[in-house]
Amino acid sequence: MKDILLSTSASEGHQSGPSSQKVSFHSSLLQTLPDLRGFARFLTRDATAADDLVQDTIVRALASQDQFQQGTALKAWLFTIQRNAFYEQTRRRSREQEIMLDIELDMQPSTAVPSRQNARDAVQDLGELLWKLPDLLREALILVGGQELSYEDAAQVCNVPAGTMRARVSRARTRLAELATENTDIPETDPEKKII
């Protein structure tokens, strides 16, 4: 992907006017690739899926680069595209799973209930705790805390007012602290089983 952007930028680098804006756009796009990859990994939880999401984001951004307004935050614009692409893919996969489940149920009815892993079995690292947050809170915390976007830019990415983004980040931090406390609580021991 980087090679394609570089070759496109280099071939257009000798022209002036609107094409020089494209060169600037492409070089700015290259600079945001690590941030796009990081945000994609938090969204997808999978390195391969994250790379696919970044590629999809770049393709969409290049296809609609004329819609980008010079002077606005490119990173926020790209995160908006990436977020929308992720939720679009998630909805599509969810619908596909529903269809496959319907097909399975039609073919072979089953009364077995799928087993659920106990939430207390999770490891106590920050990554595990982040995934316990609701999607909107985790997303807000990652955009503002992890990707270092301003509240205003993060709000633009999520298409909400800046005050809503501040509230989500605050709730996410509070909930993260609660989860950390829950995971560090030492289970009570039976007084009759004390070791002497």
Distance CA 145, CA 90 (A): 24
- Residue-wise pLDDT for 91-128, tens only, equals 887 776 776 666 556 554 444 444 333 333 333 467 77
DSSP 159: T
Token duo for residue 112: 């077995």
Residues near 101 by beta carbon (within 8 Å), at least 6 away in sequence: none
Q: Which amino acid is at 63?
A: A
Q: Do 143 and 166 contact (CB within 8 A), yes or no?
A: no
Single out the residue of 79, 90, 84 nearest to residue 37, CA to CA: 79
Sign, CA dihedral 80-154-21-23, equals negative
Confidence of residue 9 (pLDDT cuts 50, 70, 90): very low
- Residue-wise pLDDT for 132-186, tens only, equals 888 889 889 888 887 888 999 999 989 999 999 999 999 998 998 888 888 666 5
CA 12 to chain centre: 32
Q: Do 143 and 73 contact (CB within 8 A), yes or no?
A: no
Please report where in the chains the tokens 């007012």 appear, as a residue: 161
Is the pLDDT at 191 greater than 60? The verdict is no
Q: Which amino acid is at 154?
A: A
Distance CA 155, CA 139 (A): 11
